[in-house]
Structure 1
Amino acid sequence: MQATDALDMDSLRSWIGRTEEVSELLTSTLVERLYATLDREGPVTEGAEAPLLIHHCLCQPAVPTSALGPDGHPPRGGFLPPVPLPRRMWAGSAINFHSAPRIGEQVTRRSIIDDVTLKEGRSGRLCFVTVSHQVYAGGREVLHERQDIVYRDVPPADTRPRASPSPAPTGAAQREIRPTPELLFRYSALTFNGHRIHYDYPYATGEEGYPGLVVQGPLQAMLLAQYAEELRGCAPARFSFRSLSPIFGEAQFTLNAREEDGATALWTAGAGGPIAMEARAEW
């Protein structure tokens, strides 16, 4: 059902400047489980550098199961403003890396709401919430991330034919990924993300109208960042990503990369589909 009430933007914008600080120990167990989830191998000893974007698995809110909404999300309000639009997604991020967190360090994330804005899109209203995160490990700042979260109406039913989007190009480097239900479930577990579209097939298809389980945007971003690091042989200094269209589980998708003006342009795409997520890594 599409939300019809007017958004009280004055109230929502009163969340600008709100802060939150959360800490968590970066354990070898978490790193080992992340490597297992991604079918990778890496060091898991005390003091070893943790893989790129592992901070997305840390310092997540521990909301009681009984308090979750019907979609599996925590209740609206708290640190993030209570935007009364039914769909929420991570639209993109821009990250500056300073150093890598190490196994055994205490990781602290300090967050602040930078902005809350309303736009009108083809599918209805879009409310953007911009959050800045400073992440510290062992007392030093390891990264800064600007995160864009978008809330939107349920798209109206529309039977008018639309032109098919152009298929994504093939990268100079490419890798195939099969997003099995096990992969999506494990990643959701590592990030303590209860959103049911990633692991509950009847809910994703019957309640939200998707053709299958939805591949997490941050999972795609992690795969692209680590792919860029592998291709260059070292971690980037900056990494940004933006979600453009969804990818659904079971069918294979690809990680793609090409060199572009001294940086690496990256993207994901399903078979014959458009670019799903675009990213850029800079050194």
Structure 2
Amino acid sequence: MLSKTSPVVDIAQLRGWIGREAIGVDIVSEDLVRKYHATFNFPGEPPKPGEAVPPLIHFCLAQPAVPTEQLGADGHLARGGFLPPVPLPRRMWAGGALAFHGDLKVNDAVKRFSRIEDVVLKEGRTGALCFVTARHRLEANGRLVLEERQDIVYRGLDAPARVTNVPQAEQGDHQRPMKVEPPLLFRYSALTFNSHRIHYDRRYATQVEGYPGLVVHAPMQAALLCNYATELRGAPPSRFIFRGLFPLFDDDGFALHATDQGDMLKLWTAKENGPACLAAEASWT
């Protein structure tokens, strides 16, 4: 286990990253769509050229590609590029908000404009927490299709106190039992070019970062819920927000839940007889 000594966080230095920008380009290729379709077990044939692709597939697009030797010990990109060099060792995708302005389609040429909006230091139950907010704007063939807020949280390696009396999640009006096993985690990591070792390296996840198993990606849970919302309403939402609540691991049985609230769906993932792990809202206004 790595040392649990909390490093000093120079928040003034980190806030110097506010306003930093980056641009990424990509193609919504037929190959990517075919593999994404297979990964999530969508029924029927994958979309064909010119047809709309599933929402949140953009998490697979325009990802940074640096030489493997430049990755950190946790598999992430070495810090200090677009994202600020927060010295806290654990980095997690905490949540996000998305506004859809149009469909991404097979063979679209995509350009993503990204900007660091805020960096905030807080004190949590286990020590320092640093929150980084990034804004992304996605264009396809020159037309705006998506605006996104991405929330990232950094914290130390100190294992959180054993949480007791965690309320059991509610049961949704709609439910779908799920099981996320290592092959699915590996496939999603590959599609998103995410080399964070907590998602595929069990020894690292358990012995170095102290987790009880492989960690299920927050954006993958969001994609599962957004796909579920699209299926239930027959069309993808115009807005989708999500927030991580509790970690989910590969050996956890869990379910997708949804409850109708007028023109909105309240959604969440929840462990069997356990807490909600990721909460979301989808709306069609």
Q: Same fold (TM over 0.5)?
A: yes
The change in CA–CA distance for 1:10 and 1:43 in structure 2 (over 3 A counts) is same
Q: Which amino acid aligns with 1:225?
A: C
Counterpart in the other structure of 2:182: 181
Offset at residue 224 of structure 1 (A) = 0.3
Offset at residue 251 of structure 1 (A) = 3.0
Cα distance per residue 1:55-105 (max 9 Å; x no partner): 000000102111111111110010000000010000000000011111111
Tell me, yes or no, if the aligned pair for 1:23 and 1:107 is still in contact at 8 Å.
yes
SS at match of 1:14: helix
The structure 1 segments of at least 4 consecutive aligned residues displaced by more than 2 Å after TM superposition are 1-6, 41-44, 155-158, 161-164
Counterpart in the other structure of 1:167: 168
Equivalenced residues, count: 281
Offset at residue 22 of structure 1 (A) = 0.4
- Quote the Cα distance in structure 2 between the aligned partners of 1:162 and 1:109: 39
- Quote the Cα distance in structure 2 between the aligned partners of 1:133 and 1:3: 34
Offset at residue 162 of structure 1 (A) = 4.8
Counterpart in the other structure of 1:60: 63
Offset at residue 208 of structure 1 (A) = 1.2
- Quote the Cα distance in structure 2 between the aligned partners of 1:104 and 1:30: 10
Instruction: Structure 1 unaligned segments of length 5 or more: list them.
Output: none
Counterpart in the other structure of 2:151: 148
- Could you say what the CA RMSD is over the residues aligned between the two structures, in angstroms? 1.3
Tell me, yes or no, if the aligned pair for 1:24 and 1:59 is still in contact at 8 Å.
yes
Q: Name the TM-score, length of structure 1 as normaliser.
A: 0.96
Q: Name the TM-score, length of structure 2 as normaliser.
A: 0.95
Counterpart in the other structure of 2:17: 15
Counterpart in the other structure of 2:225: 224
Q: Percent identity?
A: 52
Instruction: Structure 2 unaligned segments of length 5 or more: list them.
Output: none
Q: Which amino acid aligns with 2:108?
A: E
Q: Which amino acid aligns with 1:179?
A: V
**Pairing 1:94–2:97 present:** yes
Tell me, yes or no, if the aligned pair for 2:8 and 2:87 is still in contact at 8 Å.
no
Aligned 1:1-283 pairs, distance under 5 A: 1-41=3-43, 42-156=45-159, 158=161, 162-283=163-284
Offset at residue 45 of structure 1 (A) = 1.3
Q: Which amino acid aligns with 1:235?
A: P
Tell me, yes or no, if the aligned pair for 2:37 and 2:46 is still in contact at 8 Å.
no
Cα distance per residue 1:163-211 (max 9 Å; x no partner): 3201111111011111010000000000000011111111111111111
Cα distance per residue 1:122-149 (max 9 Å; x no partner): 1111101000000011110101001110
Tell me, yes or no, if the aligned pair for 1:87 and 1:154 is still in contact at 8 Å.
yes
Tell me, yes or no, if the aligned pair for 1:266 and 1:280 is still in contact at 8 Å.
yes
SS at match of 1:11: helix
SS at match of 1:108: strand
The change in CA–CA distance for 1:162 and 1:238 in structure 2 (over 3 A counts) is closer
